[in-house]
């Protein structure tokens, strides 16, 4: 088993996660079995409670772990399917140590950072060391070298290298080489200092990946090599990509990174097969056509808040040889109505979310999309607002709402399960991770998935209230997917609309380049056929010909 530790120097936001993931892509293309892992030095136990402004999106894994968005890059860029073991925060490390101490597991010893904290960290690396499954483990250390919080992780790596032998480990250091305009020069000093910081802790990087705006010339490479004790060919340039993050593996390959890493780790591998990846990148970079998609959310200035959604749109669009122009709309700006903002949008997407802020704007957006036959994709909260909208404006339940936004609503079309059963204060925990969904035959969903049972990732508390099922389905609301026992609505559509789909789960966590998610793919296909000038101005008659037969709306068995 071989180990690669990816550290970061000088500043944060260098795209270390992307770099680690891209290295994973390259090694997999050389037929190695790769697993990735992230260590986060912050003290939160997981990012689940962090605000998207702080931390970007929370990425959910199959087992329900709420993790850092870099794990999203790992899953999208490689074939590995991650679990909660692949993300470790300082909060979890200390939680483990303190629980052990309270149980008396340390047998009266003084509990210390070395060895007790570092042991927990090393155990986590060893957990991945399963040679029957993997050849290489890539571990990314969050934060920047020199941060106080990061020290125990770096110390654990130092010890780990001693234990497994230096021939089995490399440290890849991702660093910044800034260009100073006034001097017309790329500067190596920050990198030298951050490598010096690593050496102080007893770590010597073997590879430097230099994030830079400008090409790094021979002189700069020599200087970095000499001051940082890294061979010249191990100074790798990672310039800002021109078009898409999916170019990163290709630029790193052009710099010789994958060959270098295999040489350093004594791995014999074939040349990488990057044909499919290149084709995908080409389609992203120069698509034949373009489509404008409106995304209505709360964190429109934080690009990372809806990361997986934007990536999923890219994957789906590329599969249709289409480019995406995103129109990001703040939901609060739609509270008084929707019009001009949607004029040129070929599709409307509403992401997940928590809390009442912006909800009425999202409901207005869903109404506009339904009435104007604009393709609509609602994810989690996006499905819930579409349901509320339909209940209010088609079924005449004027006060329909979710109990999340109005505790005492007389028409709780979205509510907590325990509220539906009259139980109060049960303490609502989130439904997290993968759950099966039974797709109802004859629905658009069946066409899209081409399957009648699918598994999807969840992160929510509230559910569609089945009490309203008959009343709503009679008006053209279709429950096209349910939990296997039929008790929970997982997927909805609106009859007689070209594409109006909402899902209670998060399909965006299971989309990859060259493997777009069916709901996103269907959405993009619908957007490509949508023509604003042809769309009727009012909703189709709810009593018109049905696409789904009544008996199929009720889940069987
Ligand atoms: N706030 C909603 C719920 O808890 C939706 C959650 C989400 O969109 N992830 O059910």
CA angle 412, 415, 416 (to 5 degrees): 150
**Residue bearing the CA closest to ligand 1, atom 1:** 354
Q: What is the pLDDT along the chain (557 residues), one digit of tens a residue?
A: 999 999 998 888 889 999 999 999 999 999 999 999 999 998 888 777 777 667 788 999 999 999 888 999 999 999 999 999 999 999 999 999 999 999 999 998 999 999 999 999 999 999 888 878 999 999 999 999 989 999 999 999 999 999 999 999 999 999 999 999 998 999 999 999 999 999 999 999 999 999 999 999 999 999 999 999 999 999 999 998 888 999 999 999 999 999 999 999 999 999 999 999 999 999 999 999 999 999 999 887 777 889 999 999 999 999 999 999 999 999 999 988 887 888 889 999 999 999 999 999 999 999 999 999 999 999 999 999 999 999 999 999 999 999 999 999 999 999 998 766 666 555 557 899 999 999 999 999 999 999 999 999 999 999 999 999 999 999 999 999 999 999 999 999 999 899 999 999 999 999 999 999 999 999 999 999 877 554 444 444 444 444 444 444 443 33
Nearest-atom index, ligand 1, CA of 414: 10
**pLDDT score at 241:** 87
Q: What is the pLDDT of residue 554?
A: 40
Question: What is the DSSP annotation of 284-297?
Answer: HHS-SEEEEEEEEE
3-class state of residue 257 by DSSP = helix
| Catalytic residue status for 421 | no
CA nearest 453: which of 547, 557, 350? 557
Ligand 1 centroid to residue 351 C-alpha, Å? 10
* Centre of ligand 1 from the C-alpha of residue 268, in Å: 47
| pLDDT for the residue 312 | 97
Distance 461 CA to ligand 1 centre (A): 6
The per-residue pLDDT for 423 is 60
Quote the pLDDT of residue 544: 44
The reported pLDDT for the residue numbered 40 is 92
Residue nearest to atom 5 of ligand 1 (CA): 381
Burial (Cβ within 10 Å: 0-12, 13-18, ≥19) of residue 172: buried
Q: What is the pLDDT of residue 533?
A: 52
Separation of CA 403 and ligand 1 centre (Å): 12
pTM, whole model, 2 decimals? 0.89
Report d(CA 397, CA 169) in Å as an integer. 63
Token look-up 């439904």 returns: 431
Does the active-site annotation cover 508?
A: yes
For residues 402 and 409, give the distance between their C-alpha atoms in angstroms, rounded to a whole number: 8
**What does the alpha-carbon distance between residue 440 and residue 548 come to, in Å, rounded to a whole number?**
9
CA distance 2 to 444: 46
Contact yes or no for 386/378 (Cβ under 8 A): yes
**pLDDT value at position 44?**
86
Q: Are 277 and 250 in contact (CB under 8 A)?
A: yes
Q: pLDDT of 434-492, one tens digit each?
A: 999 999 999 999 999 999 999 999 999 999 999 999 999 999 999 999 999 999 999 99
Ligand 1 atom index nearest CA of 351: 8
The separation between CA 167 and the C-alpha centre of its own chain, rounded to angstroms, equals 34
**Residue 391's closest CA among 374, 367, 408?**
367
* pLDDT digits 0-9 by tens, 487-527: 999 999 999 899 999 999 999 999 999 999 999 999 999 99
Please give the distance, rounded to the nearest whole angstrom, from the Cα atom of residue 383 to the centre of ligand 1: 9
Q: Which atom of ligand 1 is nearest to the CA of 380?
A: 8
The dihedral built from the CA positions of residue 409, 413, 418 and 423, taken in this order, carries a sign that is: positive
> What pLDDT is recorded for position 545?
43
User: Which of 367, 392, 366 is CA-nearest to residue 471?
Assistant: 392
d(CA 311, CA 307): 6
Pocket of ligand 1 (CB under 6 A): 352-354, 380-381, 404, 459-462
Atom of ligand 1 nearest to the CA of 381: 8
Residue 413 and residue 397 in contact, taking contact as beta carbons nearer than 8 Å: yes
Q: How many alpha carbons fall within 13 Å on the CB side of residue 122? A: 17
- Which atom of ligand 1 has the smallest separation from the CA of 404? 1
Q: Who contacts 507 (Cβ-Cβ below 8 Å, separation ≥6)?
A: 312, 379, 456, 517, 518, 519, 520
Single out the catalytic residue among 322, 380, 395, 503: 380
DSSP for 177-235, written as a single string: --EETTTTEE--HHHHHHHHHHHHHT---SEEEEEESS---HHHHHHHHHHHT--GGGE
DSSP label of 358: T
Q: Probe ligand 1: pick from 384, 406, 420, 463, max atoms within 8 Å of CB?
A: 384
Q: What is the pLDDT of residue 424?
A: 57
CA distances from 314 to 99, 118, 308, 524 (A): 44, 40, 10, 10
Measure 504 CA to ligand 1 centroid, in angstroms. 8
Q: Which of 55, 315, 506, 517 is catalytic?
A: 506
The reply to whether 506 belongs to the active site is yes
Q: Cα–Cα distance between 515 and 127 in angstroms, integer?
A: 29
Which of 237, 508, 517, 527 is the catalytic position? 508
Task: Determine the distance from the C-alpha atom of residue 438 to the mean position of all C-alpha atoms in its chain, rounded to a whole number.
Answer: 24
């Amino acid at each position: 088993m071989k180990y690669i530790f990816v550290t970061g120097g000088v500043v944060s936001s260098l795209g270390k996660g992307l770099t680690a993931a891209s290295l994973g892509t390259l090694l997999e293309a050389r037929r190695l079995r790769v697993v990735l892992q992230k260590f986060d030095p912050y003290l939160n136990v997981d990012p689940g409670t962090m605000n998207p402004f702080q931390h970007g999106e929370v990425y959910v894994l199959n087992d329900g772990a709420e993790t850092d968005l870099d794990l999203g890059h790992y899953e999208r860029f490689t074939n590995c399917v991650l679990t909660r073991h692949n993300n470790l925060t300082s909060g979890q490390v200390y939680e483990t140590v303190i629980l052990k101490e309270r149980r008396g597991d340390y047998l009266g010893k003084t509990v210390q950072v070395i060895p007790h904290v570092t042991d927990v960290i090393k155990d986590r690396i060893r957990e991945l060391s399963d040679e029957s499954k993997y050849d290489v483990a890539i571990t990314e250390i969050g934060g920047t070298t020199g941060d106080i919080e990061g020290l125990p992780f770096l110390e654990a790596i130092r010890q780990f290298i001693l234990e497994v032998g230096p021939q089995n480990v490399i440290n890849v250091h991702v660093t910044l080489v800034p260009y100073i305009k006034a001097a017309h020069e790329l500067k190596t000093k920050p990198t030298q200092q951050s490598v010096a910081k690593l050496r102080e802790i007893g770590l010597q990087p073997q590879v430097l990946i230099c994030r830079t705006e400008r090409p790094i010339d021979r002189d700069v490479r020599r200087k970095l090599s000499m001051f940082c004790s890294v061979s010249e060919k191990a100074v790798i340039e990672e310039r800002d990509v021109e078009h898409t993050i999916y170019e990163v593996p290709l630029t790193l390959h052009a710099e010789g990174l994958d060959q270098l890493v295999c040489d350093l780790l004594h791995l014999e591998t074939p040349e990488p097969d990057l044909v499919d990846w290149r084709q995908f990148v080409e389609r992203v970079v120069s698509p034949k056509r373009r489509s404008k998609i409106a995304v209505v959310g709360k964190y429109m200035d934080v690009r990372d808040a809806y990361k997986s959604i934007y990536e999923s749109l890219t994957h789906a669009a590329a599969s249709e040889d289409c480019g995406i122009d995103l129109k990001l709309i703040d939901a609060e700006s739609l509270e008084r109505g929707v019009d001009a903002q949607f004029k040129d949008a070929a599709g409307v997407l509403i992401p997940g979310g928590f809390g009442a802020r912006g909800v009425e704007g999202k409901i207005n957006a869903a109404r506009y999309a339904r009435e104007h036959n604009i393709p609509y994709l609602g994810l989690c909260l996006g499905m819930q607002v579409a349901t509320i909208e339909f209940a209010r404006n088609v079924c005449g339940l004027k006060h329909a709402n979710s109990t999340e936004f109005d505790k005492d609503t007389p028409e709780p079309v979205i509510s907590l399960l325990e509220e539906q059963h009259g139980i109060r204060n049960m303490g609502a925990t989130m439904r997290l991770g993968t759950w099966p969904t039974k797709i109802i035959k004859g629905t658009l969903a069946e066409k899209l998935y081409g399957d009648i049972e699918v598994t999807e990732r969840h992160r929510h508390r509230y559910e569609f209230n089945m009490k309203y099922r008959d009343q709503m389905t009679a008006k053209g609301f279709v429950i096209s997917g349910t939990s296997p026992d039929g008790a929970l609505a997982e997927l909805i559509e609106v009859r007689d609309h070209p594409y109006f789909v909402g899902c209670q789960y998060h399909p965006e966590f299971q989309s990859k380049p060259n493997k777009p998610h069916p709901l996103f793919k269907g959405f993009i296909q619908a957007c490509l056929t949508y023509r604003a000038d042809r769309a009727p101005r009012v909703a189709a008659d709810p009593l018109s010909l049905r696409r789904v037969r009544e008996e199929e709306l009720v889940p069987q068995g």
